[in-house]
Structure 1
Amino acid sequence: MRLHRLSITAFGPFGATQEVDFDALSSAGLFLLHGPTGAGKTSVLDAVCFALYGAVPGARQSPGASLRSDHAPPGLPTEVQLELTVGGRRLEVTRSPSQPRPKKRGEGFTMEKAQSRLRGYDPERGWHALSTSHQEIGEELTQLIGMSRDQFCQVVLLPQGDFARFLRADAEARGRLLGRLFDTRRFAAVEERLAELRRGAEAKVTAADERVLALAQRTAQAAGPAGVEAAPVTARPGEPGLAEAVLAWAAIARSTARERLDTAHAALAAAEGRQRAARRALEAERELARLQQRYAETLRRAEALEERRGEHDACQERLERARRADRVAPALELREEAERAYRAASDGLDRARSLLSPELRDAGADRLAELERTFQQELYALDAAREDEERSAGIDGERLRLNREARADDELIRDADAWLADWDTTHTALKERVDASQEAATRAEQLAGLLAPARRRLDAAHRRDALAADVRQAEDRLTGAREQELDARKSWLDLRERRLRGIAAELASGLVAGEPCTVCGSAEHPAPASPGDGHVDRATEERALAAQRSAEEARAHAEQQLGRVRERHAAAETEARGDDGHTSFAVAELQSLADRLADEHAEAHRLAAATNPAREALAAAEREHAERLERRQEAHGRMSARTAAREALDAEQARLAERIAAARGASASVAEHADRLTRRVARLADAATAVHAEQEAARRRKEADDRLSDAAFKAGFDTPEAAAATLLGAAGQRELQHRVDAWQAEAAAVADRRAERDAREAAERPAARPEAAESVHETAERLLREAASARAAARDRCAELDRLSEQAADEVRRLGPVRQEYERIARLAGLAAGTSADNERKMRLESYVLAARLEQVAAAATARLRRMSSGRYTLVHSDARTGGRRAGLGLHVVDAWTGGERDTATLSGGETFFASLALALGLADVVTEEAGGVRLDTLFIDEGFGSLDDQTLDEVLDVLDSLRERDRSVGIVSHVADLRRRIPARLEVVKERQGSSVRHRL
């Protein structure tokens, strides 16, 4: 990575825009960044870090701190712009922090959001925008640089004060710094993961132990307060022997519970015997009390029965009189029925006489019957006349029917004649329609054979035109690929030629003092060649060769694509030419041909579809022709028959008219005359019947009076009226009978109960005491329940203890693999964390990795420290433990003058400076290699030179000047005056009232 140009505007102490030309400063290889204290030397480096990462190093990016200069005018925005080359790309990054700006309207300020812009430079296109996203720009630059912000600030901006503290720091402080520079988070994550697994496994073991202890507590609860004298288990979760103690204690609890169950069985048997004896005594007392109470109740019922004897006798007498009156009831009902029949017959006779003529209202039954017979005979004589009248009406109906049929046949004959008149024309048209449909079917088959090839040619023409455009595009891609291949080949040949011209400098870069040259074999190299402007190294040539080969492959791929597209285009062209293989039509012509054939085919198909309907229409017309001829002939025959029938009906109707006129007399019709006679006969018959009914009802009423008087006398009643007054209904008699039966049943029951021997004997005994027997029985029941409950509790306790013991055994079996897994993970976690006895030096895994990195840093730093100290000092890594702390990150210095090894904290001020400088440069090399070998062409070293004497300062500057031999530029940040004389290329930061400014001294 090389810095080219830095522009700072309203940033830190710089109130206006300041330009830093790193290309001009780097041309000398070593340049000085100096100025008075507080002028802003470090702010220049902060601006570089802010441009690359959007933040400044360390504590200067504290919360609430502002990067905007207090000297800047309100309208000038804060902005940092850096131009650099990294990863073979020239970029320009511009960043502006969040800052207040004057409002465009009104007074006051508004907060402007932070902005970022990234541009790239292309020799052909010039500068072009790449992104304006903070996240995209940050990811792009971090990927190209290969380092985080902390690594960049430690490697490119070498802070000597930090490395002086690093030399004197303990292992923990060194670990924190190295952990930031070398991404060892994955090893720390491994430690944390193992610790997490250990905690998880420990939690599983503890949980399993707690479950076992919980089962032990539940076992103790199930055993009861008198189950086991000793406490179940005194061990805590995680302690060894817990599972075995729980299982042993559970076995003791089960044995004790079984002994208590046997005792409960014996107690229950004794309680059952006492309960049976108490129950028998209670039953005997209850039976004695029942019999005594039964005898006393019998005496009370006998007394009550004697008190109701008079009521019983009255009911008995009344019931007997009602039963005697029941023998008179049928005669009474017959008399009432005869009276009702006589009144009905008398009313019927009055209504029938009112319908007769006045002279017949007083006539007797014989007279009325004689008149009825006379009129009935006359009515019978009208039956033949009524039949003649009905036949005459039927003849009129038949004549109307014949007239309707005649009109229908006339209409049928006229319609048939009209239809048959056009038969020849209709028949010819239908036959022509059938012939045309058959011809259309033949034409449709021919057109179908032409339409499918026409459509295939149309589809092929579409593909041909589309593929023609693909051919042109493939040809354009092939032309571009060939041009790119020629350009890549020309670029590779040019670079190869330039490398060959500067091959001497490339060979000279591999020369080592004291070792023979690979070209001439000499061990001395007085004037090795140096690379000139535009030198090309091997890697550049190889990249150009790879680009040329990639372009060649792209060209071959384009040729293959063009060949495939041309083959498909030729196939489509052949198919579009048709059967002749010569004529090629355009898509529009083929589309027109296909549309025309499709329309003709559709029309022919439509006509052909009418073939069957046309044939069916012809057959139907022929059938209709035959049917109409037949119906016309039949109609003519029916007309002749109707003429003869009509003449016969006229003659018959004339004869009937004469007989009807003689029979109907003065009435309008025979039916009217017969209806009048029928009504007269019916009235006479009703009157005669009513006379007979009235006479019969009077006779039955007299007979009923005689039977009623006789029945009342026989039943013992003086008059029928007395018998009627004594009658009771069925409900009344049932009520009296129930009362009589109830008294008699109660008397029988009392007699039976007074005859009971056991009740009489029980009454003679002392009074029963069931309450005392009940109390004794309840006590026995309670004791039995308590014994049964105790026995059930003991049985349940044994079952529960068996179940809990089985669960405890299962938990112990499952705990075995979990405890083994925990012990294995705990050993690994302790080894990685440095707490295990197997880790002799108590070194954490991350410390172990950092120790390897520190060993590399010490080796890289020693190469420069020896030169700075004239071969006296060497930095070595130490993994010894000090003060009981963990080992791994110790750093010692070996003094060649004394041969002793001591801690770096014992170095003097000047020795500490060049040791820390050597350590910083070595760390930069290792971090660079760790980051993927990104080349760092610009370095900055901050302060510390004031503690060196002249000789040591010369040696340090020689070491820094050696960095320039590798085409690096080193910037020294210092205010030491002697460095201005030794380093001609300088960038001065001047502190002024209006803000700091920079000046180039070249």
Structure 2
Amino acid sequence: ARTAAENATTARRRIDRRRELDALAERLKKDAPALETARTSLQHDESARPIVEVLRRRDAASTRVAAAVEALAHLASTTRPQHRALVGLLESERADEELVAAADEATSAAGSLKDLAALETALPAREQKLAKRREQLTAATAALSALAEQLETRPAHRAEQVTARDTARKDAASLADARLALRTAEERQRATTAAIAQEKKVATAHDRAAAALRTARKRAEDEAELRRRRFAGIAAELAVDLSDGDACPVCGAVEHPQPAGAAEDAVSPAQVEAAEKERQTAEAAHARAEQEHALTGQELTRLREAAGDLTPETAQTALDTATAQVETARSAEKRAAELERALTAFDEETEKLTRRKEADALAVERESTAITAAAEALDADRVKVSAARGEDDSIAAKRHAHSARARAATALREALRTRTEEERRAVELAQEAEASLSTSGFASADAARAAVLAAEERTRLQKLVQTRAVDESRLADGMAEDGIAETAATDEAREQAQAVLAAATEKLAAAQTAARDAAGNAAQHRAVAERSTAALTALETASAQVRSVSEDAGVVVRVADLATGRSSDGERVQLSTYVLMWRLDAVIEAANARLALFSGSDLELLRDTGARGAKRTGLDLLVLDRRTDQVRVPETLSGGETFFVSLALALGLADIVMGEAGGVQMETLFIDEGFGSLDPETLETVVREIGRLAESGRVIGIVSHVGDMKAQIAEQIHVRRGADSRSSLSVTA
């Protein structure tokens, strides 16, 4: 049905195409005469345009000849007043050559005067410059004389500065003695002030000693009274434990009819003992007070000896005097330094002025010679310019006259050449125009001009010819199309083709409707099949993903169990605890190296695997005692062992931190107490190891009250409490 419809459509289209081409052929046939006339006009226009162009150029050349003749005549009339001889050369048969020679001659004459003209122009400036140089030379000579006079006075000034400097040095020489005297005066002044304060301390100490003595005597009297009363009531104490049949410790009797009774003021042994302690305490306080009184007295004696026979007022006067002497000497020393610097600067300035004088003298001499030479050269150039000027006002005016003659000759020559060239060109174009007309077929120049079309007309005719050619090409191409030439273009044939096309179109529409219904059913079945295939593919993909996730999750769960210590195998230690155990092993290894030195290899640190404690962290310590080959817990260590085990751990931890901290250094270590628990041999070992650490660059600070430490450590800082509740600090090295 589709093929029949397409064939019917093609048949009707061919009939319509043939009818269109027949109408075009008829129109072309009707327009043929007008087209022939247009082609003839275009051919005549094409032939006439070159001839008309030659005629135009001939007429323009004639016009230019007339203008050149007029221009030459005008130039001759304007040039004749100044250069009559040059205008006269125009009448000569060799006028062009003679004008060229005249121009060259004048140009050469002007060129020969160029340098002399410049020399003449520069003469006034040179004269002014020479006069200015002479003035400058006079000023430089005067300045040189003034500089020489200044240098003559400088030795006397220098002698004065040297005398002042020496005087200041002499005054400053006593600075050392003045400083020594100042220090002595300061020490005496401090001693006199301190002696006054110390006298008050001595009096206070004396009062305390007297009060302590009275207290001690009172406590001794109280103790004696209690002992007397105690002895008086001893019989009553003995009778308390007697019973019939027991021997009396005094008389030996076994019967005790009237045992002694306790008195109302009886004294117990505890009271006597307490009184004795109070008496001893009072006596000790009295001894300390007496010692303090003696020490303050000794310090007062030392201060009085340091102060000499000075009072605070005389000591202050001596201090002020010494201070003034030091200030005077310092001022003299400072002035001497300033004068020395001034003298050095003065000498440098003298040297600079001397070199300047020598340089100025040489410059003056050179400038004088140069001025003389410049004056001689200027006189010679004046003579040369005067000779070249002759009777003219100036060389520049003379050169300008030569240049004007050269320009006039050149202008006349160019005008003459232009006229001659235009006349020759006009003759050539006249001959060319005559030859073109004779061969063109036009009767005259006017006929040729009449054949030339206007631009609009030429364009219209060209478009007409081009349109005709396009239409003829369209007609030929259309008739050459498939089946066009054999097609009958009658009305009956078109009606038959239209009927066939309508029947074929109806059958095609019915077939297309049936095809669409079948395609819809097929699309439904295809969609169901595609959805089924996609569901199967998704199911298989999901199954594969479930299997993959299960496998990956197993690994993740295994790693998580290991990290959290919930794994079913191994020691079931958390990852963080395992890392701490590994770091603790490193610290223990570094600490054992120190501990072997401290303990003589008797002790070694071990990491507890976790047997102690309910959590089994594995972060506890044990101590292996190689003397008994027994493992001990740290709580069983003695005080000395605990100290150097702790010290070994601290040093080991410091070594690990410095080794892994990226350049961070732990340069300072403080050890506070703990040495009193060490035996002498161990103390010596520990001190020796600390000394080795100090030699490697660390600063080790030790806080201790152990006396043996003082003998083994050279650098010491002593802190003592003074009598006035202040602390004093001293450093020994």
TM-score bucket (shorter structure): 0.3 to 0.5
Q: Scaled by the length of structure 2, what TM-score is found?
A: 0.46
More helix by share: 2
Larger relative CO (CA 8 A, sep 6+): 1 or 2? 1
Q: Which has the higher strand share?
A: 1
